A and B are shown apart, each in its own frame.
Chain A
């Protein structure tokens, strides 16, 4: 009996793995109009809609007083609260006591990137973060908002720290600072893109070699990489924002 179930499972699972192994680079979003080129955009929009629906389900017209009491079991809401609680502690640690202004941006970034990474582990979907366009867009949002926050908090004095500590060094320090600030969005986007692409390539490679048990190990690794990259992206954004915001107080 047990053997029969196992054989049945194997037979059912084989086409799926074969599809995933042979059709590396196949995504259901390619079926949509213009999907051949824009499938990762569709996937990103799908994640955004998914997060919105999840938020609507979690809050679901409840009043604030009802939200105080946590759910008894492990629900979607508890999962989100766990993640956001961790991020909140981290933001307080890194940015300081006025961290709450920046938490919406950072939390959105974390959840968005996390789910974009995780969707790549489902057979038949490709992670949108596998495209440099998406990661560069995310990094540019962080880059622009970092400088916006800096200008809003410190005014014109924010521009002064691009000129270095001593006035006669300003002509040298200005290009140096500009390069080092331009390297930030580049490194943010390149790291996310490279890690997700590499992880996906490893899973696909082992799927082609031994399509039975071995790929699941690397899929577990993929879950870890997905979490780690979303986390590193968020922590670095926090560090950049805190550097832009607290500069006036330090000197």
Chain B
């Protein structure tokens, strides 16, 4: 693993994780928005808002999980490439 590749991996991970916080927060906000407008449309009290906030939170956790799985896979591949003799 050269210095250049290290830097590339660093930038990749940086981009990925800088996305996560905003994405998690916005998931909850979008869920709340959908629930609020469904409530106004159907007239079903606060219930759909509450349910969709929960779904939004689950969506945030889902994107966190996806990023974690992807990051693990990428790091594993980098490790493998490093161990290979004569690799880059």
Q: Is B40 an interface residue (CB 8 A)?
A: no
CB-defined contacts of B52 to chain A, threshold 8 Å: 175
Q: Is A57 an interface residue (CB 8 A)?
A: no
Q: Report yes or no: B16 in contact with A183, Cβ–Cβ below 8 A.
A: no
B30, A182: Cβ atoms closer than 8 Å:
yes
- Among A90, A93, A180, A182, chain B packs the most CB atoms within 10 A around the CB of A180
Question: What 3 pairs between A and B have smallest CB-CB spacing?
Answer: A235-B15, A179-B59, A180-B59
Check if A53 is an interface residue, CB within 8 A of chain B: no
| A183-B27 contact given A176-B55, A191-B22, CB 8 Å threshold | yes
Q: Which residues of B contact A186 (CB under 8 A)?
A: 26, 30
Given the complex, which residues of B lie within 8 Å of A89, measured CB to CB? Answer: 8
A107 within 8 A of B: no
The closest CB in chain A to the CB of B73 belongs to: A250
Q: Given the complex of chains A and B, what is the CA–CA distance between A191 and B23 in angstroms?
A: 10
Residues in B neighbouring A190, C-beta threshold 8 A: 22, 26
B15→A239 contact, CB < 8 A: yes
Contacts of A184 in B (CB 8 A): 23
B82 proximal to A (CB < 8 A): no
Chain A's interface: helix, strand, loop or mixed, by majority? Answer: helix
Enumerate chain A residues within 8 angstroms of B30, measured Cβ to Cβ. 179, 182-183, 186
Pair A183/B26 contact, Cβ less than 8 Å: yes
For A239, list chain B residues within 8 Å (CB).
Answer: 15-16, 19, 70
Contact with B along A102-139 (1 / 0, CB 8 A): 00000000000000000000000000000000000000
Among the listed A93, A180, A232, A236, which residue makes an inter-chain contact with B27, where contact means beta carbons less than 8 Å apart? A180
- Pairwise interchain contact A94-B12, C-beta atoms closer than 8 A: yes
Q: Which of B12, B18, B63 makes the CB contact (< 8 A) with A183?
A: B63
**Residue contact B15 to A231, C-beta cutoff 8 Å:** yes
Query: Shortest distance in angstroms between B39's beta carbon and chain A's nearest beta carbon?
Result: 15
CB contacts under 8 Å to A, within B10-49, are: 11-12, 14-16, 18-19, 22-23, 26-27, 30-31, 34
| Contact of A153 with B by CB under 8 A | no
Q: Does A216 contact B (CB under 8 A)?
A: no
A168 CA / B19 CA spacing, docked (Å): 30
Given A90-B12, A180-B27, A180-B62: A243 and B22 interface contact (C-beta under 8 Å): no
Assembled-state Cα–Cα distance A164/B27 (Å): 18
Do residues A187 and B60 form an inter-chain contact, with CB atoms below 8 A? no
Known: A179-B55, A180-B63, A243-B70. A235 touches B11 (CB 8 A): yes
